[in-house]
Structure 1
């Protein structure tokens, strides 16, 4: 009997010490790097609106619970509080891993070194430890203790589930619009596993898909729509010594371009030998670039005059390249950077620029000289950007949080039509449809109107990373796999020229 009492006391003291070390270390780590912790909460897909409260309450609770565990008369309460808090942390991880489209960073301290699955296992171990301590302590019967643990579990899980459900409805559902779906707009051709999630679509023309690689900027892969031929090869540029940070390839046969707006430089070469020399150097810093023709390149950039996103055209000249901006095309709502962020497209058939905002239901159309023509509205009703922006670091640096509402994610244009991918749900739409498909809304840019919507099917539990359309084929990139479809002609105009595409980048 004495041995059992000593063993129980030793077990309780050990578990208590483990929780004290865990909570004190976690709280101190959060408070020492409070800006980073606050940013991580702000990036959460459903905790963002409560950033201020959570950022202070979590480390405060961890310290309070540690004090309860140190005090013998309140230690039992400390065990129950520890159990509840760890259950809530675990419920948050389960929701993030299984139901969220955006996975933020982990919490502070040593736990930040764990991935989310390891973090989940870590939490389960501490739930078991807390439950064991509760069963070994106190004067209640084990039946009463188990009942209370079940109630606390339901409360913890239920609270997090309610917060997530409310946030999910806010971000993804909008009952004020209704799509017109074409059920069989596409004919499935096939799919191809690329072997890496680092690919992006660099070009698509005459049944050849050109794929760049984020991790290997001078590596290119080609694939035919018949899936009969694939090829991997390097491309070369004439200067390897510049401080490249974000090199991207655009293939527009017979040329290909390698551009890095942080340098800024653009190389051009032919697809015959895949060797490129400097085409434009130092003309303008840019975020995106699009090829108009052999002498002009469209860009989106940050204006020196307005400090907001703007559109420009670089014209190749024999002595020095010229750059023209039109700062009056994009309209500022909040900060001028995040709220005007979007995707630049070039429609070769009609010689038009199309710029689709990420965070509002608007796209802008200009001619090839950046003369404003009109603005179009998408079927979503968010006309003013809903942004969750967090400041971090000692300098004025900002990052988008997970609670921002992205209206338009990926775009493409071909012929008379603009194609916009959005995961915002309209009236009567089932969210489970997005588990293995992406929604594409189609707009007639000549008539400035919404036409219809359709689904692109893909592998389950993955998200669309980009898509292209050329002639009567659509190719979609989803988590390192290419999906190929044929457009049924009675729903789509074929156009006559190639298309470029834009895609949202986290």
Structure 2
């Protein structure tokens, strides 16, 4: 056998393991794609009108709130910055919220909220809360004996927060009255294996029906409650993940715990509007096929009052970046994806059952 043939054989044998590994990974990925998650989606036959989009200076913006005429964005890097846009994205202005220099303010933990013609600037480490009129100066909200918080939802007369119960090392929901020392906590966040990490989620408020909601990231549980915690209700999203699939490791040298691998996100993001809960799901339904499963963001819609599942629709995701924030005002859907802001007009929400989970708008994704 000549030397050229021997060289060819060596090349083939040396490349065979790499080819085999690639083939195995392709088979495995296809197998995972075909694994059933145990639920189907009911797809609305309404459509999202083509989005109006604009590029932002960075991907660090979040939605601080919406009004009838304006979209208000905050910025994670510049905590006091507000950018406002019209819904056509043809008008914008910027403003910086500031606090008196003598006050020590944890800017790195601060977040802006828009509430009924005023802005709320809150940080939960001190904690401190300031309110600003649309053009006026800062007014400090008195927060005597308030507990530290990492999530907060402002309303007209009180702030509902997620606080840390340091004695039991678990999260709690606390209602803290404005300008008083009165607060009350309730143990409604149920821990699972994984401890405090298993209760991570999103805190929301729907002023239309007067309910606060908590949506877990890593399992299908939903909780709603009123301001006095007198009427607590529980429910589920349509997926079947009842137990948070997370793995925790201890770092002894730093005396802390962290995720040992990326957790499985069941509910990636959520918002509320006019009695409806909109959940950006992280899971593929059994009746979703082909490119749809990775070229669109599924939004599942529920009743805030009963947690009844109503329907689903899709937001196109051609660049696979997903969305990191969304909010709804009437028929306007505002979405942040990467460094872009997009505004959709939503159609009527009639429902149809479908074994091929595609609306007319999403068929273009095939």
Aligned to 1:324, which of 175, 179, 184? 184
- Among 238, 249, 256, the alignment partner of 2:100 is 238
Residues 452-467 of structure 1: matches in 2 within 5 Å? 452-467=311-326
Equivalent residue number for residue 260 of structure 1: 123
Per-residue displacement from partner, 1:461-484 (whole Å, max 9, x unpaired)?
A: 211101001112110110011111
Which of 439, 443, 455 is 2:298 aligned to?
439
- 1:443, CA displacement in angstroms? 0.5
Kindly state the Cα deviation for residue 381 of structure 1 after the two structures are TM-superposed.
0.4
CA contact (8 A) 1:250 1:257 kept: yes
Bigger radius of gyration: 1
Match of 2:285 in 1: 426
- Preserved CA contact (<8 Å) 2:46 2:349: no
Q: 1:263 to 1:160 in 2, by over 3 A?
A: farther
TM-score relative to the length of structure 2: 0.87
Equivalents in 2 of 1:401, 1:276: separation in Å? 43
1:189 to partner: Cα distance:
4.2
Task: Extract unaligned runs of 5+ from structure 2.
Answer: 352-366
Q: What is the count of residue pairs matched by the alignment? A: 347
Q: Point out the more displaced range, 149-158 or 191-200.
A: 149-158
- Structure 1 residues 140 and 393, CA, compared in 2 at 3 Å: closer, same or farther? farther
SS for the counterpart of 1:188 is: coil
Matches within 5 A, 1:117-196: 141-161=6-26, 168-169=32-33, 174-196=36-58
* Cα gap change, 1:361 to 1:306, in 2 (>3 Å): same
Q: CA deviation at 1:349?
A: 1.0
Q: 8 Å contact 1:257–1:266 — kept in the other structure? A: yes
- The aligned counterpart of 2:345 is 486
Distance 1:435 1:175 in 2: 15
- Relative to its length, the structure with more strand (as a share) is 2
1:413 counterpart (272, 293, 314): 272
Structure 1: distance between partners of 2:304 and 2:47 = 19
C-alpha separation in 2, matches of 1:344 and 1:411: 9
Q: State the superposition RMSD in angstroms.
A: 2.4
Aligned-partner SS, 2:50: strand
Distance 1:414 1:490 in 2: 14
Q: 1:263 is paired with a residue of what secondary structure?
A: coil
- Following superposition, the deviation at residue 348 of structure 1 comes to 0.2
Higher helix share: 1
Which structure would you say has the larger RCO, counting Cα contacts within 8 Å and 6 or more residues apart? 2
- TM-score normalized by structure 1? 0.64
Q: Residues of 1 paired with 2:77 and 2:36: CA distance?
A: 37
Contact 2:284–2:293 (CA under 8 A) maintained in structure 1: no
